[in-house]
C-alpha cells in the first residue's frame, strides 16, 4: 500500500463517522494542483538532471503551506500524501493555510554547498515562474534534507524574479532570522512535540489507559532520528523535563544507555562528527531497525515514514507512540497496535508545531514588523511604575535582580513559543473531548476534528451541505 493510500484510509474512517457524501470525500482527497519539473543544472561541464514535485492538496485557504524535501526517496505519491497531511494538520491547529508539499529527488550529501545552491535556485526558479512558490499562494519550509540555508537561497531567487513584491520575505518560512525568519522556528516542531507530551502527562486517564508511569521523567523514551525534529525534541525533553532518553537511532545504528543519554553532550558530538557513535555516552549498536523493538515506555519515530509496518509491528513494545515524523506507522500496523492497546498520538497533530510557528513567521513577514517591537518598552515602563508604587505603599525597596527578572518582557521567541504552546494545548483539548464523544482512537478523533472544520469551510463556500 502506498503512503497516500495509507493516509486516505484514515481519512475514509473518520469521514464515515461524519457521514461525508462520496462526492465531497472524493474532492477532499484529490490533489488540487500539481507540478512535476525536470531541472537541468550544469556542474563540471556536464548537465545533471533532477526531478522535483510540488503538490497542493488543498486550496480551500491560501496560501498553501508545506515543507520541501531533498531525498533520493522523494516521489510523486509521497509528495501528495505529505501535502494532504499538511491540510489536515493546519485545520487541527487552526492555522489558516491549505496543505502543500514539495520534493527534489536528490541525495544532498553527494553535492558541495555551491552545487546545492545552484540546484536549489534552478528548482526554485521553475516553481516560482509557474506560481508554485509565492507569499500569497504557496509557501515552502524546511523538511527532511533541507534547512534554513535552502530557504534563504529560495528567498533570494524569489526576490530577484519578483522585485516588486513587497511581501517577498513571506515566500518561504524557516529562513534565517536576519532574512526575516522568526526566533524559535528551527526548534518549533520539536518544542511543539514536547508540549504534546507534557499535555499527555496532565491527563491522568491517558496515563492510566496506556500503563505509563505517572511522571514524564520516570518513563523510558526512545527517539528514532536525530535531525531537526528528533534532536530539538530530545534537547527540550532532557533539559526542561529531565526526561530519561535511553536510546537514539540514526540511519547507521543506535546509541543505547539504560541510565539515560546526556543529550547536550550528544548534540555537541553530533555537530562535530555528524554521527551519534560516541562510546562515552552509551553503547552504539549498528542495527538501526532493532531500535523500534526495544523495551521502552514511549517510542518517538522522528525520522521518516513507514518504519512500523506489518513486518515489525508485533515486536514493538512501547506503551505510547508519538508520531513525530510524518506517516511512520502503516495503516495495517496502526490497527494492530490499537488492538494491542498501544496509545498512539498521530502525526497530523503531533508535529504541527512547525507550521504553527511558520504561520507566525509569515504573519511577521507580511506585516513587516517584529512581534513585540512596538509595545515592549511601554510595558516595561508601566511595570516599573507599578513596582515603584508598591515599594512606596509598603515602605520597601525591591532589589535590582527581582526588578530585572520581572522586567524581562517577552521577546520574539517567548511570544512564538507562547503561541505555540497555546495552539498545541487547545488542539489537544479539542481532540481529547472529541475522543470522549465519539469513543474512537486518538487518531480517528484528530481526523474527525480536522475533517469537520474543512467541511464547514466548503459548506460556507457554497458546496452542498452533506
Ligand atoms: P532531518 O533531515 O533534519 O532529520 C531526519 C533524520 O533522520 C536525519 O538525521 C537522518 O539521518 C535520520 N534518518 C534517516 N533514515 C533513518 C533511519 N532509517 N533510521 C533512523 N534515522 C534515520 O528531517 P526533519 O526535519 O527532522 O524531519 C523528520 C520527520 O519530521 C519527517 O517525517 C518530516 O516530514 C517531519 N516533520 C518535520 C518538520 C520540520 O519542521 N522539520 C515539521 C513537521 C514534520
Q: Which atom of ligand 1 is nearest to the CA of 188?
A: 40
If you average pLDDT over residues 443-455, what whole number do you get? 97
pLDDT at position 38:
97
In this structure, which residue's CA is closest to atom 40 in ligand 1? 354
Kindly list the catalytic residues.
Answer: 101
**Ligand 1: nearest atom to the Cα of 224:** 20
Question: By the 8 A CB rule, do 69 and 102 touch?
Answer: yes
* 226 ligand 1 Cβ < 6 A: yes
For residue 454 and ligand 1, the question of a CB distance below 6 A is answered with no
Q: How far is the CA of 30 from the centre of ligand 1 (A)?
A: 26
Q: Is the CB of 145 under 6 A from ligand 1?
A: yes
Structure confidence at residue 405 (pLDDT) = 84
- Residue bearing the CA closest to ligand 1, atom 39: 143
**Residue with more model confidence, 407 or 304:** 304
62 Cα: distance to centroid of ligand 1 (angstroms): 26
> How do residues 253-279 score in pLDDT, each as one tens digit?
999 999 999 999 999 999 999 999 999
Question: Is the CB–ligand 1 distance for residue 354 below 6 Å?
Answer: yes
- Could you read off the pLDDT of 26-73 as tens digits, one per residue? 999 999 999 999 999 999 999 999 999 999 999 999 999 999 999 999
Residue 326 Cβ contacting ligand 1 at under 6 Å: yes
pTM of the model: 0.94
pLDDT tens for residues 346-383?
999 999 999 999 999 999 999 998 888 778 888 888 99
Whether residue 51 contacts residue 105, with contact meaning beta carbons closer than 8 Å, is answered with yes
Please indicate whether residue 270, judged by its CB atom, sits closer than 6 Å to ligand 1.
no
Phi/psi of residue 312, each to 5°? -120, 0
Average pLDDT, the chain: 96
Q: How far apart are CA 334 and CA 401, in angstroms?
A: 52
224 within ligand 1 shell (Cβ under 6 A): yes
Q: Is the CB of 143 under 6 A from ligand 1?
A: yes
Q: How many Å lie between the centroid of ligand 1 and the Cα of residue 141?
A: 14
Contacts of residue 398, Cβ cutoff 8 Å, sequence gap at least 6: 387, 390, 391
SS3 68: strand
- Compute how many other C-beta atoms are within 10 angstroms of the C-beta atom of residue 225: 24
Which ligand 1 atom lies nearest to the CA of residue 328? Answer: 32
Substitution candidate for ligand 1 out of 84, 225, 270, 311 with most atoms within 8 A of CB: 225
**How close is the Cα of 227 to the center of ligand 1, in Å?**
5
Helices 76-92 and 3-17 pack at an angle, to 10 degrees, of 30
Integer angstrom CA distances of residue 42 from 48, 104, 108, 122, 178: 6, 17, 16, 10, 30
Taking the CA of residue 227 as reference, the ligand 1 atom at the shortest distance is 4
Tens digit of pLDDT for each residue in 117-155? Answer: 999 999 999 999 999 999 999 999 999 999 999 999 999
Residues of the chain with pLDDT > 90, as a percent, come to 92
Atom of ligand 1 nearest to the CA of 307: 18
- The predicted-structure confidence for 179-224, as pLDDT tens digits, reads as follows 999 999 999 999 999 999 999 999 999 999 999 999 999 999 999 9
Set of cell numbers at residue 164: 516588486
For the chain, the first-to-last Cα distance in angstroms comes to 29
Question: Which residues fall within 8 angstroms of residue 60, CB to CB, at 6 or more apart?
Answer: 87, 98, 454, 457, 458, 461
* CA 295/CA 292 separation, integer angstroms: 9
Ligand 1, residues 193, 195, 228, 308: which to mutate, most atoms within 8 A of Cβ? 228
Average pLDDT (159-184) is 96
Integer Cα distance of 280 and 240 in angstroms: 23
Residues found in the chain: 466
**Sign of the torsion angle spanned by Cα atoms 250, 115, 146, 371:** positive
> Please, are residues 398 and 387 in contact by the beta-carbon 8 Å criterion?
yes
Amino acid at each position: 500500500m502506498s503512503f497516500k493510500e495509507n493516509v486516505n484510509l484514515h481519512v475514509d474512517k473518520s469521514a464515515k463517522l461524519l457521514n461525508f457524501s462520496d462526492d465531497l470525500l472524493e474532492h477532499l482527497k484529490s490533489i488540487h494542483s500539481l507540478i512535476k519539473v525536470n531541472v537541468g543544472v550544469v556542474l563540471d561541464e556536464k548537465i545533471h538532471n533532477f526531478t522535483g514535485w510540488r503538490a497542493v492538496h488543498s486550496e480551500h485557504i491560501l496560501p498553501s503551506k508545506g515543507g520541501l524535501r531533498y531525498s533520493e526517496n522523494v516521489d510523486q505519491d509521497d509528495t501528495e500524501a505529505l501535502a494532504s497531511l499538511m491540510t489536515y494538520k493546519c485545520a487541527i491547529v487552526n492555522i489558516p493555510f491549505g496543505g502543500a508539499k514539495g520534493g527534489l529527488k536528490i541525495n544532498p550529501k553527494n553535492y558541495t554547498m555551491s552545487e546545492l545552491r545552484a540546484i536549489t535556485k534552478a528548482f526554485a526558479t521553475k516553481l516560482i515562474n509557474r506560481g508554485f512558490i509565492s507569499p500569497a499562494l504557496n509557501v515552502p519550509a524546511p523538511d527532511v534534507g533541507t534547512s534554513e540555508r535552502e530557504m534563504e537561497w529560495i528567498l533570494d531567487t524569489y526576490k530577484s524574479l519578483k522585485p516588486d513584491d513587497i511581501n517577498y520575505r513571506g515566500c518561504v518560512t524557516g529562513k534565517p532570522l536576519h532574512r526575516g525568519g522568526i526566533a524559535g522556528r528551527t526548534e518549533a516542531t520539536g518544542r511543539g512535540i514536547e508540549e504534546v507530551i507534557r499535555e499527555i502527562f496532565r491527563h491522568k486517564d491517558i496515563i492510566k489507559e496506556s500503563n505509563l508511569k505517572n511522571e514524564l521523567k520516570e518513563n523510558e523514551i526512545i527517539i528514532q532520528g536525530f535531525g531537526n525534529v528528533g534532536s530539538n525534541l530530545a534537547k527540550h525533553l532532557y533539559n526542561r523535563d529531565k526526561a530519561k532518553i535511553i536510546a537514539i537511532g540514526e540511519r547507521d545504528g543506535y546509541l543505547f544507555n539504560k541510565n539515560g543519554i546526556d543529550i547536550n553532550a550528544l548534540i555537541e558530538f553530533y555537530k562535530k562528527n555528524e554521527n551519534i557513535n560516541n562510546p562515552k555516552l552509551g553503547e552504539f549498536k549498528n542495527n538501526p531497525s532493532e531500535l523500534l523493538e526495544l523495551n521502552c515506555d514511549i517510542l518517538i519515530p522522528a525520522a521518516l515514514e513507514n518504519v512500523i509496518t506489518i513486518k515489525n509491528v508485533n515486536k514493538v513494545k512501547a506503551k505510547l507512540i508519538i508520531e513525530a515524523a510524518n506517516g511512520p506507522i502503516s495503516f495495517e500496523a496502526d490497527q494492530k497496535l490499537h488492538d494491542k492497546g498501544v496509545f498512539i498520538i498521530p502525526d497530523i497533530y503531533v508535529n504541527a508545531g512547525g507550521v504553527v510557528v511558520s504561520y507566525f513567521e509569515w504573519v511577521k513577514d507580511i506585516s513587516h514588523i517584529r512581534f513585540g517591537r512596538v509595545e515592549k518598552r511601554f510595558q516595561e515602563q508601566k511595570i516599573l511604575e507599578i513596582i515603584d508604587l508598591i515599594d512606596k505603599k509598603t515602605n520597601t525597596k525591591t532589589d535590582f535582580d527581582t526588578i530585572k527578572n520581572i522586567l524581562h518582557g517577552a521577546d520574539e521567541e517567548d511570544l512564538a513559543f507562547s503561541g505555540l504552546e497555546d495552539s498545541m494545548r487547545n488542539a489537544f483539548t479539542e481532540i481529547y473531548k472529541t475522543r470522549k464523544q465519539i469513543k474512537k482512537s486518538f487518531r480517528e478523533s484528530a481526523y474527525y476534528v480536522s475533517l469537520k472544520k474543512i467541511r464547514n469551510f466548503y459548506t460556507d463556500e457554497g458546496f452542498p451541505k452533506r
